[in-house]
Structure 1
Amino acid sequence: MAHAIRFYETGAPEVMKWETVEVGEPGAGEVRVRHEAVGLNFADTYFRSGLYPAALPAGMGVEAAGVIQAVGAGVEGFKEGDRVTYTGSPLGAYSTERVMPADSLIALPEGIEFETAAAMTMRGLTASYLLRRIHPLKAGDTVLLHAAAGGVGLIFTQWAKLLGITVIGTVSSDAKAEVARAHGCDHVIVYTREDVVARVREITDGKGVPVVFDSIGQSTFEISLDSLARRGLLVCFGTASGPTPPINAQMLAVKGSLYVTRPALADYIADPAERAELAGELFSHVEAGRIKIGINQRYALEDAVQAHHDLESGRSIGSSVFTV
């Protein structure tokens, strides 16, 4: 029998339940996938807590990698036995197998292991669109990245190094600072004891940075704005500390004619051609060893409650996966 994590109400990690489920056969445009590894992402906690709405009861998770077991009518480009990965599909990735839309899938090269794919499909595609679509960054630019030792951060800094971009990263501890440096972060600020804005100004000779990438949200919003150069861009792509505060347009003018954007990965992979392009570049770097994907935490799927506690407490470093 197949198993899955489901939740019937929003709240703390304990609302998630490990259950036996009936999977069934794929319908038109669908496939049945047997998971080999499942991704654990901070966004999962948003659905569980209710920050992101979901019709209840619901499955959990949007990222996994595995093998196609059955193909429904009208599916093109995939067949039984194909290795695939995905992110952004309907909730339900925390499962041993599932039926899902075929158009959510991305073909997984033989040179990338399932655990690696589950650890980096969402994070890697996020780093991809942040670096390749949001702003015309060029070699020699300096940017500020919060959570530099997180799953996205470790991929972002390695990719930025390939592009000749200097990264100033913030972290919460010396241990995380070491990890960030090891993955190419040029300047690391331990925000629990250092003044982030002052350090950014010092590193940039008082100018500030043209772009700040902020996945933290509420607690870093003012810091991010004050770290920007004139006409700089704040990219709010996560809310780990809570929702981004309301934006005062006059304040943006006073602080240097600043810009703010709140992108979502879904809008950068909605077009199949663009998704394939972003994934192709990501996969090529990983296969060639130019970007390394470290998995620092592994959990059994039935231990999702503990995994979410670890994630929300800040104990996790880099990427985490569930083994199936």
Structure 2
Amino acid sequence: MKEPIRVAITGGAGQIGYSLLFRLANGETFGVDQPVILQILEIPQAVEALRGVVMELRDCAYPLLQDIIASDDEKVVFNDANWAILVGGKPRGPGMERADVIRDNAPIFVAQGKAINDYAADDIRVLVVANPCNTNALIAMNSAPDVPADRWMAMTRLDQNRAVAQLADKAGVQPAAVSHMAIWGNHSPTMLPDFEHAQIGGQPVTSVIDDRAWLEGDFVEKVQQRGKEVIDARGKSSAASAANAVVDHIRSMVQPTEGTWFSAAIYADGNPYGLPGGLFSSFPLRMMGSGYEVVSGLELSDYARRKIGTSIEELQEEREAVADLLK
């Protein structure tokens, strides 16, 4: 049997954490022959709830789950971690602006970045899920100077999945028929779901769905606003679909990408599209052996560049809001 990998998860008693932990433990995410050790962080007020989650994990008797470590101590949770999934964060409250959320979350990600830097394994990979995830990733990475920039990502796979579902529904096909969907920019209502390079059944989306007005209008807006739509309907933010996107992201990272690509926000320095560096922006990516690469050679239309530019401007504004925390 393989050596177990240590997976650190923050916010383990929250909605996303609860939906995610069991799928990390059952072999679905890292592989049916890969043992895991779950190292779960919660704030002190939620430790008792986390204790109940740990009970349930143990009661599942997963053969691949070698151990569970639950704590409110970042040093304990990130110790020797090979993967860190940063789910826990402070949610947006009534009357709060996006800049307020960024400032409220900043101390959390400074502390977690430092703990990852000091205690995680040399091969650590980090996925930031807690919003605003692009800038939270930037804060955490800047607090971990010894961890290479290419180990950090922020999650836009949920946006990709939402876009795939909308296109499939419009075209009357199964989601598996939709490929080459990329998300560009920020995980926010400014993101661009790139229908111009996506395919349905191997054909360009724009030839299968011959309705440019719908693609630029209802489709893009639906993907951008889907999180709010879920909150309005459910009274709570997306949880199971977010956990599912984490699983999809990790699967794409642990096995070579064949014939298509996936989306994630990465540190944008040196990207092949000339987009500004010094921030985390979403790109189409391919996994190549042990590392990923940005899909290059895509021709971006004036429409796409305009939309991506708006999202980049927002990311630059977010970076300015936390400039004092970035070294």
TM-score exceeds 0.5: no
Q: Which has the higher helix share?
A: 2
Normalising by structure 2, what TM-score? 0.33
Normalising by structure 1, what TM-score? 0.33
